């Protein structure tokens, strides 16, 4: 048994180093109370409440109003762009201090949120394609499918009347996909907040509103129940001042009456030219996230892959358990659990980027562990027996005889895993990481040109993955595998 100790000690040192590194990366973010900076979540794909303008800066009713109130009350705001559902979970887990995202005040949300004074009262309307003359009222929806955005008042309203009018519901994460589903004919109608739908129509979306506003609900700043009372008080005081001095009306008029900019170039190359810097930044974030994640995933995977071939039952069982657990868990669920679930339990904030790295490390690391283990086991058992018969200890036999042969088989798999990790980063847009996919969503929210923007994003992914595939094939040829 003593002959195994050098390998075990080496693995334990790597394990401890990995734990320490992750501990440093995931250290809680402490805010400086003197700066009075609040972390505010927002859904930047919900115009006119929040979206990115032509210069790819976040604007909208919520953004401008929050900034004006912060200036009036003497505090700072750090906006965290994410999905609507992602923002809700981040606030509930303590990752964010609050959220402004066209958030309606409902009895259900009052159970887990404290709200500020309402700054807008929104109503839900139904819209259909401009060419659709068959759907004129709710009664015409029987047996049909309608589209809504997850977590919105429109979705809640649709659910409340679904049984009465007998329609089916399709849900999406952003409004542009809701509208696109209606325009393609997959759904006959959609429900959304009136100002959001009117903005889309003003920007050229070929829909028409066919009902009067219903289910009017107040919209307000939301914070986790029982926390950040000072933020709510400052928001209320600032809102009162803005209404009194006329700034509130200016902000509302600016966005509620916004018209399409006739100078905007909505051609494929026009959109590309306008957003090339933003897309490039999103790609760089994707690449950086991929590189950092694959490094940690490789360390994680090699450790647990080697555990799987040690002649010690405990380590083999541990390796099998880790591989089974993280390969069997959907990446989206794992990301939300790490970003919102763990902070809920521990009260410790985890930055979105670090949560993303940990997510990919565990998921991709489990696959790496599996092919490391498989690569080593694919080496003929006689090789180990021969090395041991020559008097070499287990650790030295592994390093000098087995691993050199196994690594040769693993190299192409490592490159393929890098490709998979690059594609999997797109899922992390759910926790607000501004990578390439999230960048595409933000651009689409402004210009509602989903097909063209997603074509650009797809081409970028395809070019990079093609280059990596060529690299993988070149390595295989060089290694003569």
What is the model's pLDDT at position 379? Answer: 67
Among 457, 440, 433, 412, which Cα is nearest to 360's? 433
Of the candidates 14, 4, 1, 5, the one whose C-alpha atom is nearest the C-alpha of residue 372 is 14
Q: What is the pLDDT of residue 164?
A: 93
pLDDT of residue 25: 44
pLDDT of residue 240: 95
Evaluate whether 405 touches 383 at the Cβ level (below 8 Å): yes
Instruction: Give CA–CA dist 135/137, Å, rounded.
Output: 6
How many other C-beta atoms can be found within 10 angstroms of the C-beta atom of residue 158? Answer: 26
Among candidates 394, 396, 407, which has minimal Cα distance to 311? 394
Report pLDDT for 29.
40
Q: What is the pLDDT of residue 193?
A: 86
Q: Report yes or no: 366 and 301 within 8 Å, Cβ to Cβ.
A: yes
- Rounded-to-integer distance, Cα 51 and Cα 117, Å: 23
**The pLDDT of residue 33:** 42
Check: CB of residue 27 under 8 Å from CB of residue 37. Answer: no
SS3 per residue for the chain: CHHHHHHHHHHHHHHHHHHHHHHHHCCCCCCCCCCCEEEEEEECCECCCEEECCCCCEECHHHHHHHHHHHHHCCEEEEEEECHHHHHHHHHCCCCCEECCCCECCHHHHCCEEECCCCEEEEEEEEEECCCCCCCCHHHHCCCEEEEECCCHHHHHHHHHHHHHCCEEEEECCHHHHHHHHHCCCCCEEEEEHHHHHHHHHCCCCEEECCCCEEEEEECCEEECCCCHHHHHHHHHHHHHHHHHCHHHHHHHHHHCCCCCCCCCCCHHHHHHHHHHHHHHHHHHHHHHHHHHHHHHHHHHHHHHHHCCCCCHHHHHHHHHHHHHHHHCCHHHHHHHHHHHHHHHHCCCCCHHHHHHHHHHHHHHHHHHHHHHHHHHCCCHHHHHHHHHCCCCHHHHHHHHHHHHHHHHHHHHHHHHHHHHHHHHHHHHHHCCCCHHHHHHHHHHHHCCHHHHHHHHHHHHHHHHHHHHHHHHHHHHHHCC
Report the alpha-carbon angle 6-8-14, nearest 5. 105
pLDDT at 385: 62
For the record, the structure tokens of 456 come out as 């650009």
* C-beta of residue 351 within 8 angstroms of C-beta of residue 82: no
Which positions of the chain have pLDDT values less than 50? 1-8, 10-11, 13, 15-16, 18-34
> With contact defined as beta carbons under 8 Å apart, do 337 and 326 qualify?
no
Q: Tell me the two tokens of residue 150.
A: 């997850």
pLDDT value, residue 128: 95
Q: How far apart are CA 236 and CA 241, in angstroms?
A: 9
Closest alpha carbon to 94 in 203, 206, 190, 227: 227
168 DSSP β-pair partners: 145
pLDDT tens string 269-293: 878 887 888 889 889 999 999 999 9
């Amino acid at each position: 048994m003593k002959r195994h100790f050098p390998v075990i000690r080496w693995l334990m040192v790597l394990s401890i180093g990995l734990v320490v590194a992750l501990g440093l990366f995931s250290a809680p973010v402490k805010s400086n109370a003197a700066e009075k900076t609040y972390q505010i979540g927002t859904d930047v794909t919900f115009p006119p409440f929040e979206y990115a303008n032509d210069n790819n800066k976040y604007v909208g009713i919520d953004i401008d109003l929050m900034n004006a109130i912060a200036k009036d009350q003497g505090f700072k705001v750090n906006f965290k762009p994410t999905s609507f559902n992602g923002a809700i979970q981040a606030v509930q887990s303590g990752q964010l201090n609050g959220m402004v995202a066209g958030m309606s005040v409902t009895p259900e949300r009052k159970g887990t949120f404290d709200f500020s004074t309402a700054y807008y009262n929104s109503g839900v309307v139904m819209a259909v394609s401009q060419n659709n003359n068959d759907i004129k009222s709710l009664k015409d929806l029987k047996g049909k499918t309608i589209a809504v955005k997850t977590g919105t008042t429109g979705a809640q309203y649709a659910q409340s009347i679904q049984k009465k009018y007998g329609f089916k519901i399709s849900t999406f994460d952003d409004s542009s996909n809701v509208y696109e589903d209606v325009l393609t004919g997959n759904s006959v109608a959609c429900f959304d907040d009136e100002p959001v739908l009117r903005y889309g129509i003003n920007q050229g979306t070929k829909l028409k509103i066919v009902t009067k506003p219903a289910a009017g609900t107040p919209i307000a700043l939301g914070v986790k129940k029982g926390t950040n009372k000072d933020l709510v008080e400052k928001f209320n005081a600032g809102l009162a001042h803005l209404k009194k001095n006329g700034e509130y009306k200016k902000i509302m008029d600016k966005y509620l009456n916004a018209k399409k900019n006739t100078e905007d170039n909505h051609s494929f190359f026009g959109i590309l030219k306008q957003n090339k810097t933003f897309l490039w930044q999103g790609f760089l974030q994707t690449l950086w996230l991929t590189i950092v994640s694959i490094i940690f995933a490789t360390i994680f995977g090699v450790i647990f892959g080697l555990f799987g071939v040690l002649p010690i039952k405990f380590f083999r069982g541990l390796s099998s358990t880790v591989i089974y657990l993280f390969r069997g868990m959907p990446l989206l669920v794992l990301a939300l659990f790490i970003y919102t679930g763990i902070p809920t339990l521990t009260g410790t904030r985890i930055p979105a980027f670090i949560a993303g790295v940990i997510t990919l490390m565990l998921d991709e690391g489990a696959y790496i562990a599996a092919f490391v283990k498989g690569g080593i086991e694919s080496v003929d058992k006689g090789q180990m027996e021969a090395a041991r018969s020559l008097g070499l200890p287990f650790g030295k036999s592994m390093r000098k005889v087995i691993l050199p042969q196994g690594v040769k088989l693993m190299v192409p798999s490592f490159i393929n895993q890098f490709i998979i990790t690059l594609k999997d980063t797109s899922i992390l847009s759910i926790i607000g990481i501004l990578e390439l996919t999230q960048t595409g969503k933000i651009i689409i929210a402004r210009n509602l040109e989903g097909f063209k923007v997603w074509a650009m994003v797809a081409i970028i992914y395809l070019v990079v993955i093609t280059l990596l595939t060529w690299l993988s094939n070149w390595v295989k040829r060089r290694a003569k595998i």
